[in-house]
Amino acid sequence: MAPHPFRTLDVEETRVARDVILSLHSDVVVDFREIYLQEPEKAKMKAYLDLEHSSTPGQSPNGKRPPRLAKCQYDIIGLDKIPEYHESIVDVELKKRVSHEVVSKDKQASLTLWEFQILIEACKKSEMFQKAMAELKLPEGFELVVEPWPYGGLDLGAENRRYFQGLCFAQDTRSGNADSNFYAYPLPIIPIMDAHKREIVRIDRLATGGKGDSLTGKTHSERIIDHCQTSEYVPELVELRKDLKPINITQPEGTSFKVTDESLIEWQKWRFRVSFNPREGAVLHDVHYDCRSIIYRLSFSEMTVPYADPRPPFHRKQAFDFGDGGAGNCANNLSLGCDCLGVIKYFDGVVVGSDGIPQTHPNVICLHEQDNGIGWKHTNWRTGRAVVTRNRELVVQFIITLANYEYVFAYIFRQNGDLTVEVRATGIVSVVNIDPGKISDYGNVVSGGVLAQNHQHIFCVRVDPAIDGHKNTVMYEESHAAPWDRATNPNGNFYEVRKTTVNRSGGLDAAPQHNRVFKIINSSKRNLVSGNPVAYKFTPPPTQKLLAAPGSIQAQRALFANHHVWVTKYKDNELYAAGRFTLQSQQEVDGVHDMAKRNDGVVDEDIVIWNSFGLTHNPRVEDWPVMPVDIFHVNFRPADFFTANPAIDVPSGKNNSSVLVGKDCCKTEQKL
Amino acid sequence: MAPHPFRTLDVEETRVARDVILSLHSDVVVDFREIYLQEPEKAKMKAYLDLEHSSTPGQSPNGKRPPRLAKCQYDIIGLDKIPEYHESIVDVELKKRVSHEVVSKDKQASLTLWEFQILIEACKKSEMFQKAMAELKLPEGFELVVEPWPYGGLDLGAENRRYFQGLCFAQDTRSGNADSNFYAYPLPIIPIMDAHKREIVRIDRLATGGKGDSLTGKTHSERIIDHCQTSEYVPELVELRKDLKPINITQPEGTSFKVTDESLIEWQKWRFRVSFNPREGAVLHDVHYDCRSIIYRLSFSEMTVPYADPRPPFHRKQAFDFGDGGAGNCANNLSLGCDCLGVIKYFDGVVVGSDGIPQTHPNVICLHEQDNGIGWKHTNWRTGRAVVTRNRELVVQFIITLANYEYVFAYIFRQNGDLTVEVRATGIVSVVNIDPGKISDYGNVVSGGVLAQNHQHIFCVRVDPAIDGHKNTVMYEESHAAPWDRATNPNGNFYEVRKTTVNRSGGLDAAPQHNRVFKIINSSKRNLVSGNPVAYKFTPPPTQKLLAAPGSIQAQRALFANHHVWVTKYKDNELYAAGRFTLQSQQEVDGVHDMAKRNDGVVDEDIVIWNSFGLTHNPRVEDWPVMPVDIFHVNFRPADFFTANPAIDVPSGKNNSSVLVGKDCCKTEQKL
């Protein structure tokens, strides 16, 4: 059977695409970056899905099947010149290239992880860097660790060459443990590499002062980490608590979900596809409940993490973790019994090396069910009869590591029709060296000599809705106090619900003071009970927007963070909130801000909704050495989409494995 | 061993208190309302706790033990006159009354559940009511159900007698199922009872019109529920889904918590007491982590649910579920395997009947552990070593039923020092009859003939902190964009963290646009790492405040809902956000608004923090017939209270009961 059009490209398809590209560029050296599924044009896909949803299960409407396309990203390496970055699209069934673009030199391709390795080698080879390191006296047993980072926003006027920066730390090697936490020993230099030359071209010196010190002056002694302290987190280096007893989660009858063709997931009336790509990680497609369409595509589109320390060059600490390096590329190989409990289904991705040879990227997505407390309950106090159901959830999760930080991304489905997007921020906060005894306005001292700099995380979720079809409209509803009025509000208790339709593409904000709720409606379809148009709604988290000064490089390259909600008209390939190229960008180009600027009509159109939310993170000491998860939710809920609570049919049976606590509280007493 | 001063009064102590009261009022009839623990004065309790915390475990500092006091609430019934409401405090060890108050007649005591029964009987006896019912033609097999409610805010100028109102519904008895959902058949009359006369004194007629209809006119036909539809939720009347497989949660080694003396809970470095009273339900006391004090007392203090339908008499639909009837009184008897899973410890309460005879109120609190996903994670990408811990939680939960609605209240402890207050709103939305085919500005039609009225839920949590001691201060921190400036902010990426101390008691608001975070600090104790004062912080949910017009009865009686955060100076017995007496109140008296008005100095003082938050609930069709939980959290987190992440010592071992999904996804394949 032919793969479903939304299914992740497999190893064989990827290899075909590679071979086609190599055959077309047989006279030059090709360095691959990525090869992954180019999703079908929506017009073709709609025709296919219409047939699929109306046809017999198991039978594909192959007559309408869009071609299987691979997006191939690669450098053409010439002698002594800057590599040319190409993007080609290959039809892997016809083994034929269908499009080809030589990307303009003012754009930087997303980085690959092997570019990080080049930086580390360049540091080793660089005399300039070795000299700078020699100025710092490390205690015996400490060794340099270079942590490669994207270069951040290119300063205005700077030549647009490809750079990487290395944050430097020292690792205590005396324990012999390769996972001893080197972030506890930050060094105040940043080597800058020209990626094409593969050479360190500059060493940035970091100020280590505190309150009252200048932004640039050198204040540290050469004994640069003598005041720093060990801060371990790997269990063999920590004294662990001993009183935690296991909680086991078992599913003796198996799961309630079913996975077909490694892409189709069916669970509790939900039906959707999942795919994985190097930029966005896990993406959901064609989400239905009870055979009714809700979402065409759902993804984490972008995030930016700007740092607020004004001392140069810290303004260039600003990562775009999806556009710069690829969330999918940085996805963890998930582990049974650690990243989730119960009965787990893992999905693999495919990655290519610079030679284009595809490899399985194992366990990049996990799928599992979980119990989230009470789902609904009512007790009839007359009869004493309580009916209580559990809130079962299905979780599609992936986790990424970006140098020091990690993010746990999840799509959570519920029986009641809710679909929640969750982000958990964890990992190690980014730190720099601060002189002994000093404190700073730019962050918090979280360990001896270690300043955790203030920063923000701003995420953007892209929702391509299909509420009972593709022609949708966004409106927002607010609740407003009403004037006390003899005729209309005689007792002053009335409040008015105001509805506003979003007519043109643009950006909008959260307004919790008015209980502003956004509804994605299908105006052509009315709820049979209420008469309202069928809808899904969400309340954008009213989190703080980007704080960098308007016009600054940090702000200009993250215009998507200027509004909580954007509504744009759908166009194929418009997937990325901060634009297609973020690495070293000085400005968001073709991001959601530009899409919105078209001022398209968005009433009863194929629309896309973007939700930006985040966290202003002024670190606590408790965020050190690894921060406890900070959890964010955006909940999409049916609002007059169904004709009743869709979870009303969830069985309310007792779970018979629960037991009463025993007398000593550590043994169980009685099985029910 | 003598009971701990915070322990809930037991049956025997309660009986002693009753007997003392009866002996003091031997010449009259005494109708009891409540008998429960009068908590010790804080000054005495501090002295006791200081000794307790410094003494040998298991040994009570009995020399300083405050007296065991019982608060007794009762009516003295005379012939032909309005009962007098008394409150006495009895020392149950000395068997002696230590204070006595005859409450002024302009206050109404909280209702008791047996007053509801009186209303139902009064309706049966009332000719006026029977006549009104006879005007409504119910289909064969339908029977009247009267749902007693508090009367709401007394209209201005109305005589302050004690009233109850009955919302009326019809139940389809043809199925023979006593739990058939009668809310699906609302009737447009409300009988009003004078509680002292035990007589129906008035029938309020309800408008049933829609958009454009007048606020008061009668528009309905006598066939009042012919257009209503069955809306069942009890499982035997619903066609249940069949594809849900069980998730079992087992703790083969027992729990990680320990309960001593039915009040002291120790878990994962946390140590606190729990008690239960008829007004507030479960209350936490003397909360410590790692032997350091954090909170003296934590409680759900009050909530109000005002309805926004302007048609009289709906302005009197405004419940104060703690002050009017008592959250503890309405607590469910919790059930193993339904209300929580795993190994469960239940706590009982004590209730008295009108004869004062105490009875155990079983299983009013449940205590259990749960897994909440990843707690923290970091992967060293160089070595590939991932360290991941689970986010174990301890939950103290109680659930209340208030006529149609339920609330699940929980205190959630985490290993990382977080303490979260959670509310889940569920149950059946309050509905009224609406004419066939009409829609309304006052709510949403959720079933044929059934209008769910718009309303708000505003909760208030009371935090009596003791951050490393009782002298605490509140400050709030905001993050502000900074001007682009060559000297201080040369690249525009800096933002400023502003700190403001709350000097005087008063009300403050959430400000998410500035990332406003409230910190409860102990200014006399500095964090050894950061140098900041030790603190716990919280971000008040920026939910919509009360919408009723300022000066209206609804608004006046819930002044606590005018601000998200209140800071007041501690005084004994100031526990209730909307004041001691809410039933039929026209004004919040001695509530948090009055406490704040004292303009007390609150720097380095014994202070109390109140957090009001809630939900503007404009019902969805999906909220019918029982609404899926709507979940609210307020998270109290350490902020430079500890010298590192206190959960860094949580073991990161694999859970060995997790398994891979099998090929058919319904059987498990392989045990790791």
Report how far residue A302's alpha carbon sits from residue A327's, in angstroms, rounded to the nearest whole number: 9
CB interface of A with B, residues 257-296, below 8 Å: 257-259, 268-269
Same domain for B324 and B207?
no
Number of domain units in chain B: 3
Q: What is the H or E stretch that residue A211 is in?
A: none
Task: Please give the span between the terminal C-alpha atoms of chain A, in angstroms, as a whole number.
Answer: 49
Interface predicted TM-score (ipTM)? 0.96
Question: In the predicted model, what is the mean pLDDT of residues A468-485?
Answer: 97
Pick the catalytic residue from B321, B339, B468, B623: B321
Q: For residues A96 and A134, state if they share a domain.
A: no
- Contact between A5 and A13 under an 8 Å Cβ cutoff? The reply is no
DSSP reduced 3-state for A440: coil
pLDDT of residue B665: 47
Q: Which two tokens stand for residue B536?
A: 């716990």
Per-residue confidence (pLDDT) for residue A666, from 0 to 100:
44
Q: What is the mean pLDDT of residues A232-236?
A: 97
Query: Residue B108 domain-assigned?
Result: no
A242's tokens: 């001993």
- Residue among B245, B454, B658 minimizing CB distance to A337: B658
Percent above pLDDT 70 for chain B: 97
Among B74, B163, B296, B405, the one annotated catalytic: B405
Chain A residues closer than 8 Å to B551 by CB: 484, 492
Mean pLDDT of B553-578: 98
Please tell me whether residues A278 and A367 are part of one structural domain: yes
Q: How far is A669 from chain B (nearest CA, A)?
A: 9
Residue with token string 């789902």: A375
Q: In the predicted model, what is the mean pLDDT of chain A?
A: 95
Beta-bridge partner residues of A632: A423
3-state DSSP assignment of residue A295:
strand
| Beta carbons of B493 and A551 less than 8 Å apart | no
Best residue in A169, A247, A547, A624 to probe B by mutation, most B CBs within 10 Å? A247
Whether B501 and B631 map to the same domain: the answer is yes
Measured between beta carbons, which residues in chain B are less than 8 angstroms from residue A375?
Answer: 628-629
3-state secondary structure B642-658: CCCCCCCCCCCCCCCCC
Mean pLDDT within A216-242: 96
Instruction: Give Cα separations from B566 to A165, B94, B457, B562, B615 (angstroms).
Output: 47, 38, 18, 10, 19
Please report which confidence band the pLDDT of residue A64 belongs to, taking 50, 70 and 90 as the band edges.
Answer: confident
Q: Count chain A–chain B contacts defined by CB atoms under 8 A.
A: 591
Would the CB atoms of A392 and B247 count as touching at under 8 Å? yes
Minimal CA separation from A166 to chain B, in Å: 14
Residue type, B134: A
- Nearest residue of chain A to residue B443 (CA atoms): A497
Four-residue CA torsion sign, A180, A184, A187, A190: positive
Contact B622 A637 (CB under 8 A): yes
* B244 is a domain residue: no
Tell me whether strands B343-352 and A659-661 are parallel, antiparallel or unpaired.
parallel
- Partners of A627 on chain B (C-beta within 8 Å) are 376, 645
State percent of chain A over pLDDT 70.
97
Residues of chain A in contact with residue B235, where contact means CB-CB under 8 angstroms, are 387, 651-652
**Is residue B401 less than 8 Å (CB to CB) from chain A?**
yes
Tell me the chain B residues in contact with residue A426 when contact means C-beta distances shorter than 8 Å.
374, 376-378
* Dihedral (CA of B288, B290, B291, B292) sign: negative
Question: b or e along B530-539 (b: 16 or more beta carbons within 10 Å of the residue's beta carbon)?
Answer: bebbbbbbbb
What is the arithmetic mean of pLDDT over B557-567? 98
pLDDT for the residue numbered A292? 98
Domain closes at, from A56, A71, A102:
A102
Residues B520 and B632 grouped into a single domain:
yes
Instruction: Phi first, then psi: give them for residue A635, nearest 5 degrees.
Output: -110, 120
State whether A395 and A475 are in the same domain: yes
Binding-face residues of A in 69-108 toward B, CB within 8 A: none
What number is the average pLDDT over the span B41-61? 84
Q: What are the two backbone dihedrals, phi and then psi, of residue A82, each rounded to the nearest 5 degrees?
A: -70, 130
pLDDT (tens digit, 9 = 90+) per residue, B96-149? 999 999 999 999 999 998 899 999 999 999 999 999 999 999 999 999 999 999
Residues in chain A closer than 8 A to B621 (CB atoms) = 527, 529-530, 640, 642-644
The per-residue pLDDT for range A127-174, each reduced to its tens digit, is: 999 999 999 999 999 999 999 999 999 998 988 899 999 999 999 999
Q: Do B622 and A629 touch (CB under 8 A)?
A: no
Lowest mean pLDDT among A73-87, A94-108, A244-258: A73-87
Tokens of A445: 């001292």
Q: What phi, psi does A125 have (nearest 5°)?
A: -85, -15
Residue A655 confidence class, pLDDT cut points 50, 70, 90: confident
Say if residue A335's pLDDT is above 90.
Answer: no
Q: How far apart are CA B250 and CA B254, in angstroms?
A: 9
Q: Do B380 and A179 touch (CB under 8 A)?
A: yes
Q: Quickly list H helices, A523-661.
A: 553-556, 592-597
Among A204, A237, A270, residue at a domain's last position: A237
Choose the final residue of a domain: B102, B126, B160: B102
* Of A557, A576, A551, A566, residue with least CA distance to A612: A566
Yes or no, beta carbons of A513 and B446 under 8 Å apart: no
Q: What is the CATH number of the domain that holds A90?
A: 3.10.450.40
pLDDT band at A667 (very low <50, low <70, confident <90, very high): very low
In a domain, B107, yes or no: no
User: A234 pLDDT band (50/70/90 cuts)?
Assistant: very high
The angle subtended at Cα B52 by Cα B50 and Cα B57, nearest 5°, is 145
pLDDT for res B667: 46
Catalytic (active-site) positions of A: 321, 405
Do residues A220 and A167 both lie within one domain? yes
For every residue of B284-301, DSSP letters joined together read EEEEEETTEEEEEEEEEE
Residue A84 pLDDT class (50, 70, 90 cuts): very high
Quickly list H helices, A87-221: 113-125, 127-134
Residue B338, domain member (yes or no): yes
Q: Are strands A659-661 and B189-194 parallel, antiparallel or unpaired?
A: unpaired
Segment B265-320, tens digit of pLDDT: 999 999 999 999 999 999 999 999 999 999 999 999 999 999 999 999 999 999 99
pLDDT in tens, A543-602: 999 999 999 999 999 999 999 999 999 999 999 999 999 999 999 999 999 999 999 999
Q: Do A628 and B647 touch (CB under 8 A)?
A: yes
Q: Are A37 and A9 in contact (CB under 8 A)?
A: yes
Please tell me the distance from the alpha carbon of residue A593 to that of residue A602, in angstroms, as a whole number.
15
B156 touches chain A (CB under 8 A): no
Asked if residues A96 and A90 have their Cβ atoms less than 8 Å apart, the reply is yes
> Which of chain A's residues have a Cβ under 8 Å away from the Cβ of B231?
644
Q: Are residues A494 and B256, on separate chains, in Cβ contact within 8 Å?
A: no
The answer to the question of residue B246 being in a domain is no
Residue A227 exposed, middle or buried by CB count within 10 Å (0-12, 13-18, 19+): middle
A1 interfacial to chain B (CB closer than 8 Å): no
A640 in reach of chain B (CB within 8 A): yes
Question: Are A94 and A171 part of one and the same domain?
Answer: no
Confidence band for A246, pLDDT divided at 50, 70 and 90: very high
C-alpha to C-alpha distance for A125 and B583, rounded to whole angstroms: 80
Q: Provide the whole-model pTM.
A: 0.97
Considering only alpha carbons, which residue of chain B is nearest residue A489?
B310
Distant-in-sequence, close-in-space partners of B325: CB < 8 Å, separation ≥ 6: B110, B111, B113, B150, B319, B402
B366 and B493 part of one domain: yes
Confidence of residue A58 (pLDDT cuts 50, 70, 90): low
CATH number at residue B480: 2.70.98.20
Question: Is residue B329 within 8 Å of B353, Cβ to Cβ?
Answer: no
Name the residue among B337, B417, B638 with its Cβ closest to that of A672. Answer: B337
B233 burial type by CB count under 10 A (0-12 exposed, 13-18 middle, 19+ buried): buried
Q: Which chain A residues are closer than 8 Å to B262 by Cβ? A: none
For residues A664 and B409, the model is more confident at B409
Torsion angle of the four alpha carbons B312, B315, B317, B320, in this order, in degrees rounded to the nearest 10: -160
Across the strands, what pairs with A34?
Answer: A73
Same domain assignment for residues B527 and B555 = yes
Residues of B in contact with A622 (CB under 8 A): 416-417, 637-642, 644-646
Alpha-carbon distance of A14 to B413, in angstroms, equals 48
Tokens for B404, please give them.
């149609």
* pLDDT of the residue at A672: 35
Taking residue A339's Cβ as centre, other Cβ atoms within 10 Å add up to 25
Average pLDDT of chain B is: 95
pLDDT for the residue A663: 57
CB-CB neighbors (< 8 A) of B658 in chain A:
249, 336-337, 340-344
Q: Which of B169, B428, B661 to mutate to test the interface with A (most CBs of A within 10 A)?
A: B661
SS3 A207: coil
Do the Cβ atoms of A479 and B532 come within 8 Å? no
Please answer yes or no on whether A240 and B530 come within 8 Å at the CB atom: no
Q: Is a pLDDT exceeding 90 seen at residue B337?
A: no
Residue A360 in domain: yes
- AA identity, residue B651: P
- Would you say residue A600 lies in a domain? yes
Quick check: B659 and A344 CB within 8 A?
A: yes
Distance CA B255, CA B417 (A): 19
Q: Is residue A295 part of a domain?
A: yes
Distance from C-alpha of A137 to C-alpha of A140, rounded to nearest angstrom: 9
Q: What angle do CA B174, B180, B182 make, to 5 degrees?
A: 100
> Residue B343: pLDDT above 80?
yes
Cβ-nearest to B658 among A253, A342, A510: A342
Query: What residues contact B546, with CB distance under 8 A and at least 6 apart?
Result: B304, B306, B456, B458, B554, B555, B558, B561, B562
Query: Which of A624-628, A649-653, B407-411 bottoms out in mean pLDDT, i.e. has the lowest?
Result: A649-653
pLDDT (0 to 100) of residue A653: 81
In A208-333 the beta strands, taken as DSSP E runs, fall at: 248-250, 257-260, 264-267, 270-277, 281-289, 292-306, 318-320
Q: What pLDDT is recorded for position A56?
A: 64
Query: Mean per-residue pLDDT for A305-325?
Result: 97
| A233, two tokens | 């987190």
Contact: A337, B672; criterion CB under 8 Å: yes
Residues A263 and A7 sit within 8 Å (Cβ to Cβ): yes
CA distance from start to end of chain B: 49
What tens digit of pLDDT does each residue of B209-221 get?
999 999 999 999 9
Residues B149 and B289 in one domain: no
A400 in Cβ contact with A406 (< 8 Å)? yes
Average pLDDT over residues B540-566: 98
DSSP for B543-608, please give it: -----SPTTSHHHHTTGGGG-SEEEEE--TT---TTBS--TT-SS-BSSHHHHHHT--B-TTB-EE
Asked if B2 has any chain A CB less than 8 Å from its own CB, the reply is no
Give the A window 508-527 contacts with B, CB below 8 Å. Answer: 510, 512-515, 527
Distance between A382 CA and the closest CA of chain B, angstroms: 9
Q: Among residues 412-431 of chain A, which lie with CB inside 8 Å of chain B?
A: 414-418, 424, 426-428
Q: What is the DSSP letter of B244?
A: P
| Dihedral sign, Cα of residue B423, residue B424, residue B426, residue B429 | positive
User: A34 lies in which domain range?
Assistant: 11-102
DSSP-assigned states of every residue in B139-173: PTTEEEEEEEEE--SPPTT-----EEEEEEEEEE-
pLDDT at B666 over 50: no
Q: How does residue A62 score in pLDDT terms, banded at 50, 70 and 90?
A: low
3-class SS at A256? coil
Per the CB < 8 A criterion, the answer to whether A618 and A444 are in contact is yes
Same domain? For A72 and A138 the reply is no
B172 is catalytic: no
Q: In the prediction, which pLDDT does A257 show?
A: 97
